[in-house]
Structure 1
Amino acid sequence: MIGLIVLIPLFFIVSVCILIDDPKGPIFYSQTRVGKNGKAFKMYKFRSMVSNADEILEKLRSKNEISGAMFKLKNDPRITKVGRIIRKYSLDELPQLLNVIQGSMSLVGPRPPLLSEVAQYTEFDKQRLLVRPGCTGLWQVGGRNDVSFDEMVRLDLEYITHRSLLLDAQIIFKTVLVMLKPNGAY
């Protein structure tokens, strides 16, 4: 709650930049994600893509640059100019603090996957869903998009096995550093 209050000026600046860059779409974007025990919820983000990004995705699926149950494209044409900047510094993720307050996410944990991704999961991959998903985690501070899907799962399971308040504090500290000096975000 305190974080949201402190970040109000930044929310305002990012919102204005999004509207100036692409006035046709909304400021915020919500997407159905899968949380703890496979429960679906709406995850909030600042919109970093054109308004019809989901429609364009189907045309881009064959260009996926990562193996496994994820879609990543380094030079994704759906990302707006402001979107590139807010993604690089993870500012698009800040509205997820609302998800933390609602209880659907925690500050630290595995990244919440899409329903379509979970449909491709093996039983091994589904272990990621044993805990509440987080805004940040080992994957985000350990390489992000430069890490393969299998490595992301390994990092998430390592977090689940060893989670503690100390580990969470270390991940949050590293997250702040990654926001200041990005590590593979796109």
Structure 2
Amino acid sequence: MYGNYLKRLGDILFALCAIIILAPIILLTAIAIYIEDGSPAIFRQKRVGLNGREFTIFKFRSMPNGTGDVSSREAKKLRITKVGRFIRRTNLDELPQLFNILCGTMSLIGPRPALASQIELVKSRTEAGVYDIRPGLTGLAQVNSYENMPEGEKVKWDAKYRNELSLMMDLKIVLRTFGYVLKPPPAY
């Protein structure tokens, strides 16, 4: 029952409350991006979600206008704006995903959504049944490694989450996410 109904209800309540509470920060971040590098402040990218369907993920734009779609690993090689550097280090770039959670394309907790171009990762996740659940803002793989986790290991954590999905596991991941966010950020 938790995975089918209560988790979605919790996602909606969390996203609504977070959007209301964080509205000033969301607005100031969008304004800062606009002042430094123009419009749009929101970066849209296709990702693979529930049942293997593509959806559009929202993030604050941290790279100069016109930068193409790249994975997180490839993004480290590209130029990042001054505001972008700050919002990545503070994880503010992820705040627009609250709207993804609200509209149901994402959950607060689940596997981080992959790019469709990450063919091997998508294939492995499909075989492991990971796409039976919504992707998340944070997940079991994220709290077990800050960055650069091999894709095979990521799939193992994602499958473990899918197979052991429970309220207690979600609460543990939320608590561990706070520790993750407070770690020294990666260099950009």
Query: TM class by shorter-chain length?
Result: 0.7 to 0.9
Task: Confirm or deny that 1:78 pairs with 2:79.
Answer: yes
Matches within 5 A, 1:93-104: 93-104=94-105
String of CA shifts for 1:149-172, please: whole Å, max 9, x gaps.
Answer: 222112111211212111111111
- Aligned pair partner of 1:43 in 51, 57, 61: 57
Partner of 2:35: 20
String of CA shifts for 1:164-184, please: whole Å, max 9, x gaps.
Answer: 111111111222232233454
Shift of 1:10: 1.0
Shift of 1:101: 0.8
Q: Normalising by structure 2, report the TM-score.
A: 0.80
Q: 1:101 to 1:153 in 2, by over 3 A?
A: same
| 1:33/1:113 contact within 8 Å kept | yes
Partner of 1:87: 88
Superposition RMSD on alpha carbons, in Å? 2.2
- Aligned pair partner of 2:48 in 6, 10, 34: 34
Q: 1:129 to 1:147 in 2, by over 3 A?
A: same
2:78 is paired with a residue of what secondary structure? Answer: coil
| 1:146/1:184 contact within 8 Å kept | no
CA distance in 1, matches of 2:184, 2:152: 22
Task: List runs of 5+ in structure 2 lacking aligned partners.
Answer: 1-15
1:41 is paired with a residue of what secondary structure? Answer: strand
Identity of aligned pairs, percent? 40
Shift of 1:21: 2.5
CA distance in 1, matches of 2:177, 2:143: 6
**Structure with more helix by fraction:** 2
Shift of 1:73: 3.8
Shift of 1:71: 5.6
2:120 is paired with a residue of what secondary structure? Answer: coil
Partner of 1:124: 124
Per mean C-alpha deviation after superposition, the further-off stretch among 120-129 and 81-90 is 120-129
String of CA shifts for 1:47-75, please: whole Å, max 9, x gaps.
Answer: 111122117x5xxxxxxxxxxxx661474
Q: 1:71 to 1:96 in 2, by over 3 A?
A: closer
CA distance in 2, matches of 1:183, 1:140: 13
Partner of 1:158: 160
Q: Which amino acid aligns with 1:173?
A: L
Matches within 5 A, 1:57-76: 72-73=73-74, 75-76=76-77
Q: Which amino acid aligns with 1:26?
A: P
| 2:114/2:121 contact within 8 Å kept | no
1:45 is paired with a residue of what secondary structure? Answer: strand
